[in-house]
């Protein structure tokens, strides 16, 4: 079957926290015919699940903050304001990863889950996708420092009233895609979510 592309070779170039593969490929051109052979490295570390914990009664979200070396390397603030997320290992149910990570990273038990979207993080160089959810949570008593020592996690948890979270988003204080997408989704859907979870 002609899928419009052809993988000529896939070779592992690095194996560590992530894997790097070199692909040789060609694809059909919009103008007709085929491209020349192209060589690209692809960063592969699996797929992730992420959840924005939202308390409709308090009208607040649970945000986390942790050190990110990639942000540092890119010239951004290395302590990133984020939402809960984790890698989906083989055999894991995606929704269960979102629930488990909420407990590990924020001490939060997630109730109802609403799927937001599944998106590619950076398809030009990485195979990673994120399954993104909004999860109902009771935010009373949440906060403090969380994370797993064996995963070198040092995560600060904060319950943020919705107007403050929206102000941070609008001010550009939040600079990672998963948190931006989740908060923008909630800005568009908050009234409906509050009504549904009433």
Which residue reads 């909004």 in tokens?
A: 134
Note if 151 is an active site residue: yes
Q: How far apart are the first and last CA of the chain?
A: 50
| CA–CA gap between residue 12 and residue 142 (Å, rounded) | 43
Identify which of 142, 158, 164 has the alpha carbon closest to the alpha carbon of residue 65. 158
User: CA 170 → CA 43, 178, 183, distances in Å?
Assistant: 31, 15, 10
Q: Catalytic residue, from 9, 12, 151, 170: name it.
A: 151
Phi, psi of 75 (to 5 degrees): 85, 10
Residues with a known catalytic role = 151
């Amino acid at each position: 079957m002609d899928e419009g592309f052809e993988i000529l070779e896939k070779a592992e170039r690095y194996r560590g926290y992530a894997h790097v593969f070199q692909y040789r490929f060609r694809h059909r051109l919009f103008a007709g015919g085929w491209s020349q052979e192209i060589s690209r490295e692809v960063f592969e570390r699996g797929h992730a699940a992420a959840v924005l914990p939202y308390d409709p009664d308090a009208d607040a979200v649970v945000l986390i903050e942790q050190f990110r070396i990639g942000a540092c390397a890119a010239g951004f603030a290395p302590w990133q304001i984020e939402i809960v997320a984790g890698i989906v290992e083989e055999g894991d149910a995606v929704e269960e990863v979102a629930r488990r990570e909420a407990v590990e990273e924020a001490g939060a038990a997630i109730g109802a889950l609403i799927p937001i979207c599944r998106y590619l993080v950076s398809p030009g160089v990485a195979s990673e996708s994120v399954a993104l959810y909004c999860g109902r949570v009771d935010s009373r008593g949440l906060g403090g420092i969380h994370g797993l020592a064996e995963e070198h996690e040092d995560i600060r948890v904060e319950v943020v009233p919705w107007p403050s979270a929206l102000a941070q988003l609008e001010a550009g204080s939040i600079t990672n895609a998963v948190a931006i997408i989740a908060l923008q989704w909630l800005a568009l859907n908050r009234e409906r979510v509050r009504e549904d979870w009433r």
